[in-house]
Amino acid sequence: MKKLFGIAASAILLAGVTTACGSSNNGGLTGTPAPSGASASAESSPADSTNDKFTLKVIASDLKGDGLDVATEMFKQKYPNAEVQVVTGGWGSGGQDLRNKQLIQLSGGESADVGKMIWGKEFFRSGVIDDITDAVKSWEIYDRLSDGQKDRMTLDGKVYGVTFSSNTVYMFYNKDILAQAGFTEAPKTLDDLAAIAKKIKEANLQTADGKPIYATSFEGGNWATDYWLWANGGKQMTDDYSKTLIDSPESIQAYQFMQDFVTNGWAPKIDGSYDQLWLNGQVAVWFCGDWDIPATINANINAGYAPMPQGSSGLNTTSVGGVEWAVFKQSKRKKEALDFIEILVSKEFQLKTQGLTTDLALYDDPELQATWKADGTFEGRMAEKVQLQNTKYNFLEAPFLFPDASKIYNAALEKILIGGADVTATMKEAAEQINKGIAEASNS
């Protein structure tokens, strides 16, 4: 494990800016792909008695925010003599502090039993996470997860983590702006959105204080904006993630469609302001998630919420978010660790936490719906429920091979959406760099 320690130290010294949805793109574990070992359910802990005294170590970002206070209480109902020790790390910059803590623990041979991560596939591939395939596939929730949720949890067909509190982007729309442009409904397709954009531009719509109004915005990083790629028939990666396809004819056409929105004045140039124009009442359609509903309400936006518009491909696929909970291979309490994770995705836990929802079937639960209606998030949650059925894992948000691929890709997006660079040349150059890096990392 000495090699891991060196990488952990480097990660601390060289931590950098990350992309949307808080994923880490810097540093990385080295090692061979995870072996196909037995699942955690088949491995025995030192003792299986619920009366034994033991400590379960959990590493996460927030005790209450992750619902670990609730999970601990439920865990102790099964293991009354257990102590749950929670170590936390910062979640800023894509959980960089937490990831570094996990790396240091691994290098010292004293990792936690259970860990929260969004860098799951990187750790899965490095062989430091336990294979829990058999156990998880037997759980009731497994068959109710979407393909996108399952994709986050797996590598090479094996389950190494359990997705938790899944989220994605969907459509927020400003009813007042649409009405001013002559539309009574939210766009069903991207062609509809283009029609709205033309009307807004022709009418030179402005806010009451004279600020320009746009049809949409490309803020949010590629985790959010790759929807435009997939909706218009492009592909980010091959199915085995061995090669990027951002320079394919279909992908080039999709990026050109995006650039045309900026060139035509239908969308502003990216400037890092994220949701500010939406909250200012300057954007008709904003692609975001539940985290932005409270700010939308506070800004008095007359908003509606719906699944994403379909593109020319007939699809409206978005990136799947959330985190993974995994059992570290170093754990001496694998059975109990897996029991703790099962609690985190149980119906009882999801109802008690009133919003840390993983099971898509629970979106129809009357108790949860009553809570969401009371806090003003119900319509958004219903849109999220539908959209989560059409999600996929986003490799270039946080690559588990060649981490710099994310920086290269996002730099290319900035060149075409801010600088107006030639789309074909820009994406071909980026693809060459990314594919070279992935090939070298695969052979190392």
Same domain, yes or no, for 36 and 56?
A: yes
pLDDT, tens digit, 9 for 90 and up, residues 250-271: 999 999 999 999 999 999 999 9
Q: Report, in this order, helix, strand and coil percent for the chain, each rounded to 5.
A: 45, 15, 40
Q: Token pair 């929807």 is at which residue?
A: 227
- pLDDT at residue 56, rounded to an integer: 98
Q: Which residue, 177, 103, 125, 146, is CA-closest to 438?
A: 125
Domains of the chain: total = 2
- The helix (H) or strand (E) run that includes residue 174 is strand 170-174
Residue 161 placed within a domain:
yes
Same domain, yes or no, for 260 and 302?
A: yes
Residues of the domain holding 312? 170-319+397-443
Residue 372 placed within a domain:
no
Residue 213 placed within a domain:
yes
As a whole number of angstroms, the distance between CA 435 and CA 404 comes to 11
Specify the higher pLDDT residue, 74 or 26: 74
Residue 333 placed within a domain:
yes
Give me 394's structure tokens.
Answer: 């986003």
pLDDT, tens digit, 9 for 90 and up, residues 286-308: 999 999 999 999 999 999 999 99
Residue 384 placed within a domain:
no
Most confident segment among 5-9, 11-15, 137-141: 137-141
Same domain, yes or no, for 190 and 79?
A: no
Q: Which residue, 141, 130, 152, 145, is CA-closest to 336?
A: 130
Residue 381 placed within a domain:
no
415 contact partners, CB below 8 Å, separation of at least 6: 421, 426
Confidence of residue 50 (pLDDT cuts 50, 70, 90): low
Residue 87 placed within a domain:
yes
As a whole number of angstroms, the distance between CA 197 and CA 200 comes to 5
- Span of 25-29, 90-94, 168-172 with lowest mean pLDDT: 25-29
As a whole number of angstroms, the distance between CA 214 and CA 83 comes to 54
Q: Which residue, 252, 226, 309, is CA-closest to 20?
A: 226
Same domain, yes or no, for 439 and 305?
A: yes
pLDDT, tens digit, 9 for 90 and up, residues 212-230: 999 999 999 999 999 999 9
Same domain, yes or no, for 299 and 162?
A: no
For the four alpha carbons of 259, 263, 268 and 269, in that order, the dihedral sign comes to positive
- The helix (H) or strand (E) run that includes residue 324 is strand 323-327
Give me 160's structure tokens.
Answer: 């190494």
Same domain, yes or no, for 406 and 356?
A: no
Kindly give the pairing relationship between strand 170-174 and strand 303-306: antiparallel
Same domain, yes or no, for 99 and 206?
A: no
Reply yes or no on whether the pLDDT at 52 is more than 60.
yes
Q: Which residue, 35, 128, 153, 159, is CA-closest to 331?
A: 128
Q: Which of 310, 340, 364 is a domain's end point?
A: 364
Specify the higher pLDDT residue, 360 or 93: 360
Mean pLDDT, rounded, for 49-65: 88
Residue 405 placed within a domain:
yes
Same domain, yes or no, for 66 and 184?
A: no
CATH code of 81's domain = 3.40.190.10
Same domain, yes or no, for 179 and 134?
A: no
Average pLDDT, the chain: 89
Dihedral angle over CA of 409, 414, 420, 421, nearest 10: -30
**Is the separation of the CB atoms in 39 and 329 below 8 Å?**
no
Dihedral angle over CA of 238, 243, 245, 246, nearest 10: 130
Confidence of residue 46 (pLDDT cuts 50, 70, 90): very low
311 contact partners, CB below 8 Å, separation of at least 6: 189, 190, 228, 230, 231, 232, 233, 254
Same domain, yes or no, for 35 and 157?
A: yes
Same domain, yes or no, for 290 and 428?
A: yes
The amino acid sitting at 132 is I
Total-model pTM: 0.87
157 contact partners, CB below 8 Å, separation of at least 6: none
CB atoms within 10 A of CB 397: 28
Same domain, yes or no, for 90 and 156?
A: yes
pLDDT, tens digit, 9 for 90 and up, residues 397-411: 989 999 899 999 999
